[in-house]
Amino acid sequence: MAFLADALSRVKPSATIAVAQKARDLKAQGRDVIGLGAGEPDFDTPDNIKKAAIDAINRGETKYTPVSGIQPLREAIAAKFKRENNLDYDWKQTIVGTGGKQILFNAFMATLNAGDEVIIPAPYWVSYPEMVAICGGTSVFAETSIENGFRLTADALEKAITPKTKWLMMNSPSNPSGAAYTQAELRALADVLLKHPHVWVLTDDMYEHLTYGDFAFRTIAEVEPRLYERTLTMNGVSKAYAMTGWRIGYAAGPIELIKAMDMIQGQQTSGACSIAQWAAVEALNGPQDFIATNKAVFQGRRDLVVSMLNQASGIDCPVPEGAFYVYPSCKGTIGRKAPSGKVIENDADFVTELLEAEGVAVVQGSAFGLGPNFRISYATSEALLEEACNRIQRFTAGLR
């Protein structure tokens, strides 16, 4: 009898974590490596948020919290959804988890039975299908393309829906592509969903505040209020507030779903870290001006990376609307020979040879379900990004 659970055979390790670890290992060996694999802002958490955490410690806010989170944070979440997304939720319709991952996992765990399908547009964040698999569901991948900006179309959604579909997994702006959906594009998807009342929507809005130019962020329940009763809107403080290590994600949705997620979380982790929750209260309720400042820095980095990658032989890099990733195609390098003598046959070969030859760590597009592409996180300094792009240009110029 096997000791490990059968579910593990359906799950792959996180490719993004693996790339980050490989970069760390090579650095420890003395290699000059630029790691562009991690999806983590390089900014520090704002001082007012850190002070709120210190104040909470000094007040003795060090006990267990309610499973779904402290009431002041849940009230702040409800206020945020009203203020920024025109969504009316009672604080009891909210839930706080240990990062956005736990929110997503608990939603799937609470709703998926064997054979239930989850539509996931590709490219997708690496954890979505693995969560679905652990929870016993089946991922149905709806491919997008570089030509349509890596966005799911209404036609592709219609074709992917079956009687077994339980969820549509949305992510805008997207990890890994940075693609974001306009109001009109969400409207078209909503029109399809209204014809299929058995399909719920789980929308991951973690990069909401990181959109560029005049792009106006919208979330689907805001665009189509008739989807409100079957939408779980997830967000968190990790990206916009530079609070990745604080591990606070949150969501709002129908009360019965929130109660089910609370029950699972109560048997799993109970409440998130009390101090991190008080810091998140300040993040949501406090000054927001630094977000625009950080966003301007990210936009400058995006423009630099897109420009330099498009000057690299065989690389085609579209301009993303949001997040802090680019998702260029390396199709033009396929079939060419790397300095090692290896012929590049796919995006995995491309990223492996790039790391070996030039010490630049990126993530292969096949890990996100769509290639031949690769993902670069530009959440690091312009100096490092410029050096990394120079190395990529040198690498592609040297392919034969």
Report pLDDT digits (tens) over 208-236.
Answer: 999 999 999 999 999 999 999 999 999 99
How many structural domains compose the chain? 2
Domain boundary among 285, 307, 332: 285
Domain assignment of residue 55, yes or no:
no
CATH number at residue 337: 3.90.1150.10
| Residue-level pLDDT at 160 | 98
Domain end call among 285, 301, 324:
285
Domain ranges, residue 307: 6-44+290-395
Looking at residue 25, what is its pLDDT? 87
Counting as low any pLDDT under 70, the low residues of the chain are none
Q: What is the pLDDT of residues 336-379, one digit of tens each?
A: 999 999 999 999 999 999 999 999 999 999 999 999 999 999 99
Q: Would residue 53 count as lying in a domain?
A: no
Same domain for 151 and 215: yes
Statement to judge: residues 246 and 126 lie in one domain: yes
Same domain, 272 and 298: no
Looking at the fold, whether 345 and 254 belong to one and the same domain comes out as no
- In 3D space, the residue among 131, 78, 133 whose CA is nearest the CA of residue 106 turns out to be 131
Q: What is the structure's pLDDT at 63? A: 98
Write the Ramachandran bin of 297: left for phi over 0, alpha for psi from -120 to 50, otherwise beta. Answer: alpha
Q: Does residue 246 sit in the same domain as residue 328? A: no
Last residue of a domain, one of 285, 318, 350: 285
pLDDT of residue 338: 96
Q: In CATH, what number is assigned to the domain containing residue 147?
A: 3.40.640.10
Tell me if 175 is assigned to some domain.
yes
364 domain-assigned:
yes
Dihedral (Cα; 47, 48, 49, 51), 10-degree rounding: 80
Residues 141 and 38 grouped into a single domain = no
